[in-house]
Structure 1
Amino acid sequence: MSSNQLVVEHIRVSSRLMVRELGFMNATLAATPYSPSAVHALLEIESHTAMTAVQLVQLLGLEKSSVSRMLSKLIQCGEIEEVAAPDDARLKQLQLTPKGRETVARINDYGSMRVLDALAHLDAAQQHSVAQGLAAYAQALKACRDEPASPVPAGITIQAGYQPGMIGRIAEMHGRYYARHHGFGHFFEGKVASGLAEFAGRLEAADNNIWLAIHRGQIVGSVAIDGEDLGNNEAHLRWFILDEGCQGGGVGRKLLAEAMAFCDQRGFSAVHLWTFSGLNAARRLYESFGFTLTKEWQGDQWGNSMLEQQFTRSTT
């Protein structure tokens, strides 16, 4: 058996053991009367504050009919309720009831207790290795589910690190897109260019990186992780942009997958991004990677008065 085959077999054996020890072989999970899928649904609704059934289907990777039946049961049991979305009364969102919040609190207490009991058998270095390894492997498994549905178009490659001309090209893509759709002007484009120029000088730091989508020698997309400017072991996702001709083809998802895998590998406790209301396609993509809306306020950091937003992806 080759070394690669040994690694595969070791991971498979360990995965089966984890499934058994965590209780996923049972009809119910986490000391509740609910199935594993229902427990996961409650946890995701709690972490997102409110979400639609469609979003939950995508997040859990289950069939729509199965999720519909499970949600109906949770509604009947008084754990969740449907409410009108604040920006569209026709759209129904799911949120926890007071009973549901109590149930999730018990689930979290139970889950934390199981983790702490297990970690007590490991030293500090082993605990850190387990946390990083599980995060990286979980993201890799998720990437396997995401990639078949949205492959990167032929002829486009993803390259990491500085490329000559990237500062001007990324600033150009931002300037053109946001001028056309949101009326931004030279202030915004200049801010992008100056921020990128400063960041490029810090790309040799281990916690910083940038990924570029390139087609026929031209940059058509970008995303960066700045692991230094926020401090507190938290990362900043910056300059996520696609040329309009490449939107909707899976390039953005691939760029974000590279960035999130990097964040998991570096062991950041959280990843933050700042944007503004109305960029719905980007928001759906962020949420599919575990980002949740954490703050909203009226601001003008982009040169115009906008409803600004902060999204956070926590790994702790």
Structure 2
Amino acid sequence: MKDIPENITKQIRAFNRFYTGIIGALNSSVLNSPFSLAEARVLYEIKHTENATASEINLRLGLDPGYLSRIIRRFEHDELLLKERSPADGRAYNLKLTSRGEHVLSVLEKVSDQKVAEMLESMSGVDVNTLLQSMDALTSIFSGEPRGASVRPGKPGELGFVAAQHMEFYMKEYSLDASFEYYLFEGMTNFLKNRDSGTAGFWVADHNGTVVGSIAIDREDEKTAKLRWFLVHPEFQGQGIGRRLMDQAIEFCRLNLYHRIFLWTFSELRSARHLYELYGFSPTEEVRHEIWGREISEERWDFLLVDPEEDL
């Protein structure tokens, strides 16, 4: 067992006491109803668990088996749930809420949602985003599950944030100098002109309001698209975000009837090069030169979206 400093354990225990108070305030709406907090949680789990059984609910909530049995009997008596013998195991019963049970749960959830909304009402948007990110980090740490992100079109202003992320990443990981910033903004200025015409697209991976990945498609000519600014934040790599960004970009190219896509990268970006290969890109050109403060071997990779005969 690790030797954890006493000040850390005290800080965590203090937070636990503070958070228990918040949870008590949020749960007061449930406690003002005819249902205990445990009963409300059982209703929720039955509703959101496919073919729920008493043993599954007990495993999720950690309730005493006898106490859970009494809750289920009460729900049956009050016509809040139905028990059906499980086709997979004749000794078990699947639990399902009746329409009355679903109505009761809906009322409880609406009241709880209102309580949360009241708590957030005085917070700024920045504070709410910070809260969501902190909650997600806690969930990820204690569950061992990776943090997720959704892919969506980029919003006005986010391209500048992507430029800052690229500068930070490439200066730190590959020792590029400040001239790389000029290259980024020069390309982004031209890109914005094409995006207004609908021939270019820009997407980000969004994690609770924070951009953690990006990709763009720019118009090179009528048949050719250029893939640009593909990056996934190191903390979010290995979760399939890069594939989802690539899928979005390639689908955009197909819808806009581009024949081919190309990109420029450099040889040290091994994980990105591997992903390009998986999607059917292949290296077609290599240029070794001094640029952005160091010697770099740039590579052009191409991907044909149509049969070679159609590309003539």
TM-score by length of 1: 0.48
Q: Which structure's CA Rg is the greater one?
A: 2
